[in-house]
Amino acid sequence: MAEATLKAVPPDRTRVLQWLQAYGVYAGVALLMAVNIVVTPHFLTAENFRTQAVQVAPVIIVALGMALVIGTEGVDLSVGAVMALAASVTALYLGYGLLPALLVVAVFAAGTGLANGALVAFVGVQPIVATLALMVGGRGLALVLLPQLEDLRNPALASLGSGDVLGVPYLILIAAALALLVAFVVRRTTFGRQLLAIGDSRPAAQLAGLPVRRVLIVVYVACALLAAVAGVLATARLQASDPTSLGNLMELSAITAVVVGGTPLTGGRVNIAGTVAGAVLIQLLTATLIKHDLPPSWTQIAQAMVIVCAVYAARGRGKR
């Protein structure tokens, strides 16, 4: 669907793998749905779908940014830390009202993204190392700003977390809007093309005269801003700012969603619809195991199996 590629698909790969790569994640979601409808009581209720969608919304939003970064052959490990940072900054500035607090959050997130982008684009540090530094530092800063959980009572923030339009929670609407926006940017804009070109081959993009550094910085800033949105939404839902635990391991969930969704880690291709489906797949898997009260360790094993399957399917085409 919202998949853009710059290189032609090699025609000699086996068709099954191609099909799995393109549609495996949707098949997985459909399969889990079918299984759940049969075996899980109270699964086919609007309330249940609402719960799952609300829980997965922050993961989707973070994964969107992660997909962009991975499209440039990078990775952003600092997203969880940015979520924590967003949570603590929200709590710190909420006294001025919701909107000013959100602006300050945006400034902090943009700062983190800028630092990531500058390290990658100008200093030439590898993305995994650059963002690792910000992952550690970002959470540290979040904890310095707000050392312990703080309850928030701002009514505007509360309605952001639990309000809805015609029964559809704001969280879902925001996640859907952002997904459409990012898909549009990747498929229909020059910026999207440049991003994929850089991911395909940075030296070639540079030689072709593309603004490589600018694009990279914008991508990392966008990723950090999306993570901050997710952090604020998660905080709004919890009605408390908890920088110690918010966003823990979020970077791994986001990378899993992106990879399972059929975006190769080697860059040059971004599959937004697949990323959304990947996040939904993991959410459904977790929900299924929790609803049937299976030990939590099973969730981890099941996730690992999904990742291995996804990587196996991607094996044929990810290589260059």
Point out which residues bind another protein (CB under 8 A): 40-43, 45, 47-48, 51, 54-55, 91-96, 104, 107-108, 111, 114-115, 118-119, 122-124, 141, 143-145, 147-154, 162, 202-203, 206, 213, 234, 237-240, 242, 244-246, 287, 290-293, 296-297
Strand residue runs (E) in the chain: 3-5, 150-151, 164-165, 168-169, 240-241, 269-271
* Token pair belonging to 209: 């005269």
Residue 301, classed as helix, strand or coil, is helix
| Nearer of residues 66 and 205 to another protein, judged by Cβ | 205
Strands 168-169 and 164-165: antiparallel
| Nearer of residues 21 and 251 to another protein, judged by Cβ | 251
What sections of 146-271 are H helices per DSSP? 155-162, 170-188, 190-200, 202-207, 212-238, 250-260
- The DSSP bridge partners found for residue 107 are none
Asked whether the beta carbons of 73 and 191 are under 8 A apart, the reply is: no
| Nearer of residues 76 and 183 to another protein, judged by Cβ | 76
Report the distance separating Cα 60 and Cα 280, nearest Å. Answer: 8
- Nearest distance from C-beta of residue 206 to another protein, angstroms: 8
- Nearest distance from C-beta of residue 135 to another protein, angstroms: 16
- Nearest distance from C-beta of residue 73 to another protein, angstroms: 12
Report the distance separating Cα 235 and Cα 244, nearest Å. Answer: 12
Could you identify the residue written with the tokens 């925001």?
Answer: 174
| Nearer of residues 96 and 312 to another protein, judged by Cβ | 96
Asked whether the beta carbons of 6 and 301 are under 8 A apart, the reply is: no
Asked whether the beta carbons of 172 and 115 are under 8 A apart, the reply is: no
- Nearest distance from C-beta of residue 49 to another protein, angstroms: 10
| Nearer of residues 294 and 308 to another protein, judged by Cβ | 294
Centre a 10 Å sphere on the Cβ of residue 247 and count the other Cβ atoms it contains.
30
| Nearer of residues 5 and 245 to another protein, judged by Cβ | 245
- Nearest distance from C-beta of residue 36 to another protein, angstroms: 10
Q: What is the CA radius of gyration of the chain?
A: 19
Asked whether the beta carbons of 223 and 78 are under 8 A apart, the reply is: no
- Nearest distance from C-beta of residue 291 to another protein, angstroms: 4
Report the distance separating Cα 64 and Cα 273, nearest Å. Answer: 10
| Nearer of residues 10 and 163 to another protein, judged by Cβ | 163
Amino acid at 45: T
| Nearer of residues 121 and 183 to another protein, judged by Cβ | 121
Report the distance separating Cα 272 and Cα 92, nearest Å. Answer: 34
- Nearest distance from C-beta of residue 189 to another protein, angstroms: 25
- Nearest distance from C-beta of residue 168 to another protein, angstroms: 15
